[in-house]
Amino acid sequence: MPRKAPPDYEQDLVDAGSREHYADAALYDYEYRRRRADIAFYREIARRRLAGPGRILELGAGSGRITIPLARDGHRVVAIDQSPAMLARLRARTEALGTATRARIEPVAADLRTFRVPGRFPLVIAAFNVLEHLYTRVELDACLRRVALHLEPGGAFVFDVQLPDLAWLDRDPTRRWSKTRFTDPTTGRAMYYSTNHDYDPVSQIVLIRLYYDPVDPQAPGARAATRIVKLSQRKFFPAELEALIAHAGLRLVDRYGDFSFGPLEPTSESQVLVCERAPKPRRKRRS
C-alpha cells in the first residue's frame, strides 16, 4: 500500500495542478478544439436569459473559447482568469477580431475567490469545470458569494462541473490511460498523450498526470520533449453541490445532465446548473 504523502506535499501538487495545464495555451486550445457542445449551450443560455445583447461576467474565461463566440453574438463580456498564459492568449485572439467584437471583450486578471469588477450582471457563467479548481468548501463558498454580489436582481449564474464517475476515479494509478497520438501545435513533433491519476475520497480531489511523450524516443531532443503536466480537480456530488449553493445565498432553478438541456442522470458526464440569488427571508413582525 503506498505511503500517504505529507499534507504540505499534497498541497504543492494541488497548487501545481491548478496552473500547469494552462501554461501552454496553444496546446490547450489544440486539445479542446473539438469541444463545441458547451459553446452552443452558453450561447443559447445567453439568448434565453438576456433576450438580446447584454453584459456577461465569465469566470475562468481562459483563452476565450466561449468568450469570443458570445462577443460575436453581440454581448459585452468581462472575462476573468488567473493564468497569465491564458489571458495573453485571449488578448492575442481578441486583437485579431473585428473592431466591434474586440471592443466587447474585457480581459481581467483576478482570483475566483476574491474578484471584484464594476457593476452587476444579468448573467454570470463558469464553463468547462472551472469551479473544480476551488478545492475546499471555504474556497467555493467565497467564489459563490462573490458571484451573488455581482448578480443583478433576477440575474442567473450558470456553470458546469463533472458528475463524479466512481469507476474512473478508482482506476489503477500506476497504469497509463487514453493513449492518443497527436502533433504538437508549436513544435510539430509527433507525440503520444496519456494520463493517470490519484483520487483522495476524503478531500474529493483528484490529482491527474498528463503525459506527453515523443512517438520516436530516439529522435534528437526527444528526452527534453517528454513532459508530465499536473491537473488537480475537486469533485462535487449533486446533493452536496446543491447544499453548497444554498449556503452561499443562491438557489438552484434548473439542473441538466448535458449541454442539450437533457436531465441529470446516473450516466451523465456533466452537471449543468442554473442558479439565481435566493430571496432574503422576511422578518417577522413583532405582535
Residue 83 has phi, psi (to 5 degrees) of -85, 120
Contact 124, 57 (CB under 8 A): yes
Cell numbers found for residue 42: 452558453
Contact 252, 275 (CB under 8 A): yes
Average pLDDT, the chain: 94
Which residue, among 121, 130, 42, has the nearest Cα to 82 in the 3D structure?
130
Average pLDDT over residues 257-280: 96
Question: In which band, very low, low, confident or very high, does the pLDDT at 2 lie, cut at 50, 70 and 90?
Answer: very low
pLDDT in tens, 107-154: 999 999 999 999 999 999 999 999 999 999 999 999 999 999 999 999
User: By mean pLDDT, which of 7-11, 14-18, 52-56, 188-192 is the weakest?
Assistant: 7-11
Question: In which band, very low, low, confident or very high, does the pLDDT at 285 lie, cut at 50, 70 and 90?
Answer: low
Domain ranges of the chain: 35-163+236-277, 166-234
Contact 257, 268 (CB under 8 A): yes
Q: How many residues does the chain have?
A: 287
pLDDT in tens, 58-82: 999 999 999 999 999 999 999 999 9
- The dihedral built from the CA positions of residue 147, 63, 28 and 265, taken in this order, carries a sign that is positive
Which residues neighbour 134 within 8 Å (Cβ) at sequence distance 6 or greater? 112, 113, 140, 142, 143, 234
Average pLDDT over residues 162-179: 97
Question: In which band, very low, low, confident or very high, does the pLDDT at 287 lie, cut at 50, 70 and 90?
Answer: low
Contact 196, 173 (CB under 8 A): yes
Which residues neighbour 105 within 8 Å (Cβ) at sequence distance 6 or greater? 64, 67, 68, 71, 76, 77, 79, 90, 94, 97
User: By mean pLDDT, which of 10-14, 26-30, 144-148 is the weakest?
Assistant: 10-14
pTM for the model stands at 0.93
Q: What is the pLDDT of residue 6?
A: 46
Contact 145, 248 (CB under 8 A): yes
Quote the distance between the C-alpha of residue 127 and its chain's center: 5
> For the domain 35-163+236-277, what is the CATH code?
3.40.50.150
Contact 122, 147 (CB under 8 A): no
Give the strand pairing for 205-214 and 190-200.
antiparallel
Question: In which band, very low, low, confident or very high, does the pLDDT at 5 lie, cut at 50, 70 and 90?
Answer: very low
pLDDT in tens, 225-246: 889 999 999 999 999 999 999 9
Confidence check: pLDDT of 8 > 80:
no
